[in-house]
Chains A and B, each alone.
Chain A
Amino acid sequence: MQHEVFANTEDFGGPDIVAGTGRISQPGVDAPYANYELGKPFDEMFSRDGQARATYAAIDSRVSSLPLEELNRRQQAVEQSFLHQGITFTVYNDNQATERIIPTDLLPRIVTAREWDRIERGLTQRIHALNLFLRDIYTDGRVLKDGVVPRSMIYGSKHYRREMRGIPVPHGAYVNICGSDLIRNEAGDFVVLEDNLRVPSGVSYMLANRDVARRAFPAVFRSMGVRPIEHYPLELLATLRSLTPFHEDVSIAILTPGVFNSAYFEHAFLARQMGVELVEGRDLLVNDNVVYTRTTSGLKRIDVIYRRIDDDFIDPLIFREDSALGVPGLFNAYRAGNVMIANALGTGVADDKAVYAYVPRLIRYYLAEEPILDNVETFLCREEKSLQHVLGNLDKLVVKAVGESGGYGMLIGPHASTKEREDFAEKIRADPENYIAQPTIQLSTAPTFVGNGIEARHVDLRPFILHGAETKLVPGALTRVALKRGSLVVNSSQGGGSKDTWVLSQ
């Protein structure tokens, strides 16, 4: 049974008003900002001279007017709410899985209408180019023949699915749900750090955080013209439905690896919000090339599967034969067009960190446009000159394994010991094609409540792009926070938290 501890209309705080005083806080001086450090990175709230930006004025005056105990109380109410709703996340470490709430921060991060406009246009452009790229490498391979992308990078990628060659996908949309990670560089410009084109997660936290921040600062929220995001599940549903040619009785299911998956909460949450089935592999079966779910009243046909399982596990007949999570025969049903799968299989080849470096070139190649959002400068260790540069500057660079995600298999040069750097250099030399390096980018900082005040913490931004018959961005994002002072790792699997993102309507 589920208790809604707080009704939606109820607030975490007492009466909340937008303070009319024109007080402007000084970071590093005024409470609660006494320990707020402004450094080289761009700060979301304060300009370099320590002035609070106009967009944060309302939040600032509200926060400054509340005693520390009250902020603490609201933060605790937020955490309680998450725990009661079961918004948890599994962290794998030392072979142990621990269930934690994803730490969420009280204070919203604000994105202006102008900034959002550029993000929206940039990501739309990007997902178009990436989908054209995927269609190309699974059909004609024009981009390979023209030598724009080295063939070995694609054919050598463990995420390149030869089985997908020549299989048409509806609307040419291979990536239907994308979560791209953006960061703000020192100049304050948003740049793309990586694209997540396989099974991006985190959208449920975007929605849950909104619930929290809105109730923590209701009056401020109402006064600022924050664009709504609550329709995300409906947009997702529309995107999934657009993948089938049918309009009536379309049956959709979310395929989850199961309750032990770190993102299980999200799978259940989205299924409930969209009113679709939540199934595991064993709940499905394929008969005569058609996918069915087992129900108490017999078999029921499934038309679209939003899968949250990696390619490798989706069908033991075609991919990993030891997979107990998948559905034998699913891929052939998909090949026959009897079921649609979102995202399509084989999209991982395009979010490979080596392919990432080529995305600006892909945008020019397929769209004949200049990229609206830049990449972070990236060195491909597969290129001899870059390899030497990387090995010579390990103390300044972040090195990442090409096929990994979630912060695994990476070295943060400036924070690593000499020994760690030497060990990693060995790994790079042994398999240079598997590594890329980027300069340590100072992620921007944002005000974050830390218990005894508000301090600056590094944040990134993950908007979610939907792409079916049309491309849509819900005006919001998951802002991930590196909760440790000075840390740049925002991944929730590595102890990062999150906060609500307010995209302003003007």
Chain B
Amino acid sequence: MFYSIRHVTRFRYSGPVRESVMELRMQPRSEGPQTLRSFQISTNPRAQLYAYTDHLGNAVYHFNLLREHEELRIEAQATVEIGQMPAWPDALDPLEWSRYNGFNLSDDHFDMLEDSRFARMSPELESFMKIADLQKPVGDPLSALKALQRGIYDSFEYEPGVTEVNSPIDVALEQRRGVCQDFAHIMTAIARSWGIPCRYVSGYLYHKGARDRSAANATHAWVEAYLPSLGWVGFDPTNNIMAGERHIRAAVGRDYADVPPTRGTYKGDADSELSIAVSLEPTQAPVRHEDFLKVARPMVTPTSTASMPERLYHQQQQQQQ
């Protein structure tokens, strides 16, 4: 299954700003059943883009704009292939709990067990867990996580505008309303309190009909919980489904703070207005770029360690051949 994703972000400023610096985490990951087939990103005004891989394995692009501007557009275009998803069992045996041990847990899991900036215990969360009967996991870890996902789905209304991007989960908990980010944080915090490593996933969801509660044409968020005998398994508490071939993963982290699609600063006495457009369509297999470029002749490594000017001379000579 191939998807074509177009993700446009526009910042408009109420006055001229300068020295914008920005980081982008929107390149779909390439691992497991998901393979990134192509990715392009550009900005307007044009900026030189740089990239690195962060400590969570996410691709991060960054750039800066020195000169004054009043609008900034970022356009990312990706083609992703989703292969066969593993078929998860309905339940695991209760012994799974005993497999959360030093032998199976490694460095990567530790961070996903502790409170983080947004996914943290609070009196509000504790009282929700009491009311929703989620204080203790029931049954094996997989069944317990499914019950947790269902519990969140049943207790909350999906409603944009109640919470903001930096709201603590307490706002959603008080209102019993929120969006995917809030539900993912709540599920993460509870799963961690049960001793299950759990991480936040930022990405996209291909909507099929009206069954999904989350907004179409937007970015999406869900969670992944670690089950020693299955690995990381995705749960989407917003839609009460296991993450599958409609979920496209862009970045993973402890919570939203680790993986915002855009994060930046600018100088200038102006407010900014953010608009986002996402379009996600099934597509045909793309032409593989590497098929175009056939290496005619492999590069010859110079045998001697020529000093810089000599090597330059070498190269200039070759150009004339």
Contact = CB atoms under 8 A, between A and B. Distances in A.
Contacts of B55: 162-163, 165-166
Contacts of A287: 64, 66
Interface in A309-338: 316-317, 321, 328-329, 332, 335-336
A152 interface: yes
B132 interface: no
A316 B265 contact: yes
Interface string A42-84: 0000000000000000000000000000000000000000000
B111 A285 contact: no
Interface string A279-315: 0000001111100000000000000000000000000
Nearest to B111: A155
A165 B21 CA distance: 22
A321 B265 contact: yes
Contact of A286 (B21, B52, B263): B21
Interface string B39-55: 00000000010101011
Nearest to A161: B55
A156 interface: yes
Interface in A134-189: 141, 144, 151-152, 155-156, 162-163, 165-166
B110 interface: yes
Interface in A248-290: 285-289
A329 B52 contact: no
A163 B254 CA distance: 13
A285 B19 contact: yes
A317 B111 CA distance: 22
B23 interface: yes
B64 A288 contact: yes
B168 to A, nearest CB: 16
A69 to B, nearest CB: 59
B110 A152 contact: yes
A313 to B, nearest CB: 13
B69 interface: no
B52 A141 contact: no
B110 A155 contact: yes
B114 interface: yes
Contacts of A336: 50, 52
B17 to A, nearest CB: 12
B107 interface: yes
Nearest to A152: B110
Interface string B51-87: 0101100000010101000000000000000000000
Interface in B100-158: 107, 110-111, 114
Contacts of A152: 110
A425 to B, nearest CB: 24
Contact of A329 (B21, B48, B54, B107): B21
A317 B263 CA distance: 7
A285 B66 contact: yes
* Interface-central residue, B21, B52, B55, B263, by most chain A CB under 10 Å: B21
B93 to A, nearest CB: 28
A416 to B, nearest CB: 31
Interface residues of A, number: 23
A325 B110 CA distance: 32
A25 to B, nearest CB: 60
B59 to A, nearest CB: 14
B265 A317 contact: yes
Contacts of B107: 141, 144, 151
A458 to B, nearest CB: 40
A317 B50 contact: no
Interface string A410-450: 00000000000000000000000000000000000000000
Contacts of A289: 50
Contacts of A156: 114
Nearest to B166: A321
Contact of B19 (A151, A288, A321, A328): A328
A60 B33 CA distance: 81
B48 to A, nearest CB: 5
A332 B52 contact: yes
B264 interface: yes
A418 B55 CA distance: 48
B264 A317 contact: yes
B114 A155 contact: yes
A144 B102 CA distance: 12
B15 to A, nearest CB: 19
B196 to A, nearest CB: 17
A261 B21 CA distance: 27
Contact of A151 (B50, B110, B263, B264): B110
Contact of B62 (A144, A155, A316, A329): A329
Nearest to B115: A156
Contacts of A166: 55
A156 B254 CA distance: 13
Contacts of A321: 263, 265
Interface in B1-39: 19, 21-23
A285 B110 CA distance: 36
A155 B62 CA distance: 27
Interface in B259-295: 263-265
A144 to B, nearest CB: 7
B114 A328 contact: no
Contacts of B52: 332, 335-336
Nearest to A156: B114
A115 B55 CA distance: 44
Interface string A471-489: 0000000000000000000
B265 A288 contact: no
Contacts of A162: 55, 111
B62 A332 contact: yes
Nearest to A332: B62
B274 to A, nearest CB: 15
Interface in A75-102: none
B64 A329 contact: yes
A267 to B, nearest CB: 24
B19, B23, B114, B265: residue with the most chain A Cβ atoms closer than 10 Å: B265
A162 B117 CA distance: 14
Contacts of B48: 288
Given A165-B55, A317-B23, A328 B110 contact: no
A286 B264 CA distance: 13
Interface string A346-368: 00000000000000000000000
A155 B106 CA distance: 12
A307 B21 CA distance: 21
9 contacts: A144-B107, A155-B110, A285-B66, A287-B66, A288-B64, A317-B23, A321-B263, A321-B265, A336-B52
List 6 tightest A-B contacts by C-beta distance, closest first: A328-B21, A165-B55, A329-B21, A328-B265, A162-B55, A155-B110
Interface of A: 141, 144, 151-152, 155-156, 162-163, 165-166, 285-289, 316-317, 321, 328-329, 332, 335-336
Given A155-B111, A286-B64, A317-B264, 12 more contacts: A155-B110, A163-B54, A163-B55, A166-B55, A287-B64, A288-B50, A316-B265, A329-B62, A329-B64, A332-B52, A332-B62, A336-B52
